[in-house]
């Protein structure tokens, strides 16, 4: 190796290591200001914005957009928007809830988003959510058709006056419900089940081996759950019973501290398949 090359390589390695140590120190000693009241620096903001835009563009590229015309679709989208989105994003003449104003990053005014992002991108963001922002994923709460209804409504949103938006207020907000299986329930898939654990707060209450962030002990650890003869000490452990437990623990064991989380049948089947992999005897 030529001498200058070696010097350059050493300089790079040393600078890299120093940057790593400095970054590590900022994190370890708690110097990074994680409060929501301290705005991101322009550089961090720009980095996050770019990561979001590029990521969404790439991942939504093969989303197929259905027909978004039709009064019924838009009407339904309007109801869903009011029930699930306006609290954080507001609407023409309607402010978000106080807690949403305290979020950092601030939820965008979706009138602007509707003008700048494609239908496929809006669908993807709504379905998948955005990490570290407070934007929830809706795919386990709304069926794809319902998400498309919201997207269809967002297409007309920029044209609505505040009065027109308010007139759409019909007072009856549909409850959040898990998507109906639509008759084509597929066999439980352990990988899908592992992902779904993050969508129903399971990770906030249970220690689950191999699942990041799941190390809490509000409920029993799920390590070795596949080997246990009974679920919650009451129900014989079969795949069908596990599904029932996940969907309505309160019906199986009235007064249990495990809440009914609105888990859909498909998600329950997937999660049950994942839990079957948590055996200690294998």
250 CB burial (10 A radius; 0-12, 13-18, 19+): exposed
For position 225 contacting ligand HEC by CB under 6 A, the verdict is yes
**In this chain, which of 92, 168, 209, 220 binds ligand HEC, going by CB under 6 A?**
220
Nearer CB in complex with ligand HEC: 160/202: 202
**In this chain, which of 189, 232, 252, 265 binds ligand HEC, going by CB under 6 A?**
232
Report the nearest approach of ligand HEC to the CB of residue 219 (Å).
3
For position 135 contacting ligand HEC by CB under 6 A, the verdict is yes
Report the nearest approach of ligand HEC to the CB of residue 191 (Å).
15
Task: Kindly calculate the radius of gyration of the chain based on its CA atoms and give it in whole angstroms.
Answer: 23
Q: Coil, helix or strand for 94?
A: strand
Q: Coil, helix or strand for 59?
A: helix
Nearer CB in complex with ligand HEC: 183/233: 233
For position 246 contacting ligand HEC by CB under 6 A, the verdict is yes
For position 134 contacting ligand HEC by CB under 6 A, the verdict is yes
Helix (H) or strand (E) holding 110: helix 110-116
For position 273 contacting ligand HEC by CB under 6 A, the verdict is no
CA torsion, ordered 215, 218, 223, 229, to nearest 10 deg: -170
Nearer CB in complex with ligand HEC: 134/168: 134
Report the nearest approach of ligand HEC to the CB of residue 218 (Å).
5
Greatest C-alpha distance within the chain: 76
Region binding ligand HEC by CB under 6 A among candidate stretches 7-15, 39-47, 69-77, 194-202: 194-202
Helix (H) or strand (E) holding 10: helix 3-28
Please report which residue ranges of 168-238 form alpha helices under DSSP H: 190-196, 202-205
Whether the link from the prior residue into 217 is cis, omega within 30° of 0, is no
For position 136 contacting ligand HEC by CB under 6 A, the verdict is yes
Region binding ligand HEC by CB under 6 A among candidate stretches 15-23, 60-68, 162-170, 212-220: 212-220
Helix (H) or strand (E) holding 231: strand 230-231
**In this chain, which of 105, 168, 181, 262 binds ligand HEC, going by CB under 6 A?**
105
Angle at 96 between CA 92 and CA 98, to 5 degrees: 155
For position 253 contacting ligand HEC by CB under 6 A, the verdict is yes
């Amino acid at each position: 190796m030529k001498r200058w090359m070696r010097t350059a390589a050493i300089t790079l390695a040393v600078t890299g290591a120093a940057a790593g140590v400095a970054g590590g120190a900022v994190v370890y000693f708690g110097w990074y200001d994680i409060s929501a009241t301290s705005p991101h620096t322009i550089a961090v903001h720009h980095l996050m914005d770019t990561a979001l835009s590029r990521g969404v563009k790439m991942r939504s590229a093969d989303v197929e957009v259905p027909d978004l015309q039709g009064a019924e679709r838009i009407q339904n989208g309007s109801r869903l928007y009011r029930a699930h989105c306006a609290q954080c994003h507001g609407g023409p003449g309607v402010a978000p809830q106080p807690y949403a104003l305290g979020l950092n990053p601030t939820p965008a005014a979706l009138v602007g988003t509707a003008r700048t992002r494609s239908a496929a991108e809006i669908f993807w963001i709504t379905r998948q959510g955005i990490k570290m922002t407070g934007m929830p994923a809706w795919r386990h709460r709304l069926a794809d058709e319902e998400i498309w209804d919201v997207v269809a409504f967002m297409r007309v949103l920029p044209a609505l006056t505040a009065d027109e938006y308010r007139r759409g207020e019909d007072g009856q907000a549909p409850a959040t419900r898990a998507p109906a299986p639509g008759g084509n329930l597929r066999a439980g898939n352990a990988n899908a089940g592992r992902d779904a654990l993050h969508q129903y707060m399971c990770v906030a209450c249970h220690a689950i081996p191999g699942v990041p962030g799941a190390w809490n002990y509000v409920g029993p650890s799920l390590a070795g759950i596949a080997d246990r003869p009974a679920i919650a000490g009451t129900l014989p452990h079969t795949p069908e019973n596990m599904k029932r437990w996940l969907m309505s623990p309160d019906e199986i064991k009235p007064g249990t501290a495990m809440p009914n989380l609105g888990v859909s049948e498909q998600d329950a089947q997937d999660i049950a398949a994942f839990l079957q992999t948590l055996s200690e005897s294998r």
